Structure 1
Amino acid sequence: MKKFMKLMMFFSMVAMVSFTLYACQSTNNNAEEIVVAEVTRSIFYAPQYVALEQGFFEEEGLLVELITTPGGDKTMTTLLSDGADVALVGSETSIYVHAQGAADPVINFAQLTQTDGTFLVSRNPVDSFTWEDLKGSTFLGQRKGGMPQMAGEYVLKQNGIDPQNDLTLIQNVDYANISTAFASGTGDYVQLFEPTASIFELEGKGHIVASFGEESGHIPYTTFMAKESFIGEGETAKKFTRAIYKAQVWVETHSPREIAEVISPYFEDTDLELIETVVERYKKQDSYATNPILDMEEWENLQNIMDEAGELPERVDHSTLVNTEIAKQVMSE
């Protein structure tokens, strides 16, 4: 958390944007323009791209500009400095901001993913993998304080592995360099997002042996959030949530191939077959939330994981940082 807040202060005057895309073109001159900052570009966020490509935002009178702000710290800084109206990022960031006493709280109002999105990849083939195989190994994990790392360590502990004593845990590699470090020979196991995990498997650089998403249970891994003032102004948040819900229903009722074809413009350097493989894997383990409600059980599971990792500044009531009324209204229409 300390690293997170230092970076928040460092970037407080700058919105770090690596990728900008007007994702929806509208002929409606009265369309309301909003900026959405996503923490990374990922197939894990397929319903968001479906909402953009299928015109669900446009149907609600919204013109969405999508920007990519790599890292939870940069994404939240962009939101807090009014560089974006809505942020797509891990719910833990709203807890970190709350702990600093924000005058205009950041509220989670629509959930997009409901499991961890990473996979355990081994360097060598493993027959009949068990978590005991990690003992004595070198494990290349994710950045300390981030949700992937916290969920990863939580899963290890749930399976009887002490991350600090049963293996050599490496956490000082920057997120963008983790896959490169593993490919260069660092670690016996690595925690990776898709499509990198599948690419490594196809290229023979690694082998997917387990899913952290399946092991950690339902958590609000990635949600849309905004300042309380934005949510309270007019119908924009409701229109946004309605478009996301339409996309969630669409993803639930369409095949991985159909989804891959729709979202492929956002992944021009990735083969369609690989996008389909990744979508299928995420659908199979229920990573895509089927509705935008972030419920109490998921919120408590998130805080339990943060607490176990020693990163929870204080427990926060579900009602304090989560708005479910908008999602419930949209779903009841």
Structure 2
Amino acid sequence: MKRKYFVSGLVAVFTAISLSACSNKASDTSTKTYDASQKDNYVLKISENSDLCGAPQQIAVEKGFFKEVGLNYKIVKIGQDTSNLEALNTGKIDASNSLLASLIQPLENGSKLKITTGLHTGCLQILTKDGSITKASDLKGKKIGVTAVAGSPATFAKRVLSDAGIDVSTEKSQVEFVTYESDQLGTVLNKGQVDAIAIGDPTSEILKKEFGFKTLANSATDAPYKDEYCCVAYVSDDIAKKHPAIAAKYTLAMQKAADWVNKHKEETVELQLEKKLVAGNKDTNLISLESYQFIPSYQGAYDAFKSVSSDLQKIGILSDDTDLSALRQNSFLKVKGVE
């Protein structure tokens, strides 16, 4: 009997130790202090960004905000055949900024990243040519041109159409999404091969000027999307776990840069064009940039995640079984001094 009690006691001790170890492991990231004042000489690999709405990162480089917070970094060109998420998951980059809607399904599927702040509102449009299409519900039974069925412009279009009462689920979609190369979208809409296109800025403004297209929906100006954070900054899970100070420095610099852009939009556009960071011209690019709110916010991104993920689940992009509250909680990290 004594041996039995002795063994049971050992089991209890080992069980307690194991549970304690698991508990400590699970709380590794949540208990870290993401403080930018701490030293860390790691060189952060940041994906190159050539988009108009990538202004915060471009300005963080050109105006020295990364250096100001003491961040060692290098900009990595990943090529058109590799997405930011693929590059992040393979360790080619450590950080980037992308449209929030493009991140949520990958996060559901296990992408290892943490969102650290919202950067701005904007930056997608649905364009039409036919004057008979004046509202989203008019697109029922029509064709919409996109560059990718799962891309951010297509996702925005699906949300708009769903809100207008149109079924956009894969099984019963009342709209046909047709894929084209980005430089073909203007031509196919102009020729009537599609009834609308979903596209990002500044290409939207360029095509409107070239072909006379009309804006049917604009995420920067139309409710309820205009107050949602469109683009967010994020770091890999490895950076979040192993280099919390680096995650903090990157986030604070991106917030400072976004705030600078909000106060200097014309100068931002001029710098982007002068440095050949984006395509377009000053007039069309400034029209788009003026419509965005560059008010960096962690809470804004956290709130937007809730509304966007709910829409994505409603239209079938996210599984019905996904716990959206848990997904959101697991997808963010909070940096000291960031609101």
TM-score by length of 1: 0.74
Q: CA deviation at 1:125?
A: 5.0
For the Cα contact (< 8 Å) 2:153–2:200, is it kept in 1?
no
> Residues of 2 paired with 1:175 and 1:203: CA distance?
15
> Residues of 1 paired with 2:232 and 2:81: CA distance?
12
Quote the residue 1:18 is aligned against.
Answer: none
The one of 20, 25, 44 equivalent to 1:34 is 44
Find the residue that maps to 1:47 and give its secondary structure. helix
> Residues of 1 paired with 2:300 and 2:77: CA distance?
23
The question of 1:197 aligning with 2:204 is answered yes
Quote the residue 1:226 is aligned against.
Answer: 235
Quote the residue 1:56 is aligned against.
Answer: 65
The one of 237, 254, 258 equivalent to 2:247 is 237
TM-aligned CA distance change 1:44 to 1:295, over 3 Å: closer
The one of 302, 316, 320 equivalent to 2:330 is 320
The one-letter code sitting in structure 2 at the alignment partner of 1:237 is A
For the Cα contact (< 8 Å) 1:142–1:175, is it kept in 2?
yes
For the Cα contact (< 8 Å) 1:154–1:216, is it kept in 2?
no
For the Cα contact (< 8 Å) 1:91–1:108, is it kept in 2?
no
Quote the residue 2:216 is aligned against.
Answer: 209
Count of residue pairs the alignment pairs up = 290
TM-score by length of 2: 0.73
For the Cα contact (< 8 Å) 2:56–2:254, is it kept in 1?
yes
Q: CA deviation at 1:268?
A: 5.9
Find the residue that maps to 2:337 and give its secondary structure. helix
The question of 1:297 aligning with 2:303 is answered yes
Task: For structure 2, list consecutive stretches of 5 or more residues without a partner in the other structure.
Answer: 1-39
Structure 1, 175-184 or 309-318: larger mean CA deviation = 175-184
Q: Percent identity?
A: 17
> Residues of 1 paired with 2:118 and 2:81: CA distance?
16
Quote the residue 1:260 is aligned against.
Answer: 269
The question of 1:160 aligning with 2:165 is answered yes
The one of 169, 173, 178 equivalent to 2:185 is 178
For the Cα contact (< 8 Å) 2:144–2:176, is it kept in 1?
yes
Pairing 1:15-164 to 2, within 5 Å after superposition: 33-37=43-47, 41-69=50-78, 74-91=83-100, 94-101=103-110, 105-115=112-122, 117-125=123-131, 129-141=134-146, 143-163=148-168
The one-letter code sitting in structure 2 at the alignment partner of 1:119 is Q
Find the residue that maps to 2:250 and give its secondary structure. helix
Who wins on radius of gyration, i.e. which is larger? 2
Task: For structure 1, list consecutive stretches of 5 or more residues without a partner in the other structure.
Answer: 1-29
Quote the residue 1:7 is aligned against.
Answer: none
Q: CA deviation at 1:139?
A: 2.5
Q: CA deviation at 1:202?
A: 1.4
**RMSD between aligned alpha carbons?**
3.2
> Residues of 2 paired with 1:50 and 1:184: CA distance?
38
For the Cα contact (< 8 Å) 1:139–1:187, is it kept in 2?
yes
For the Cα contact (< 8 Å) 2:54–2:97, is it kept in 1?
no
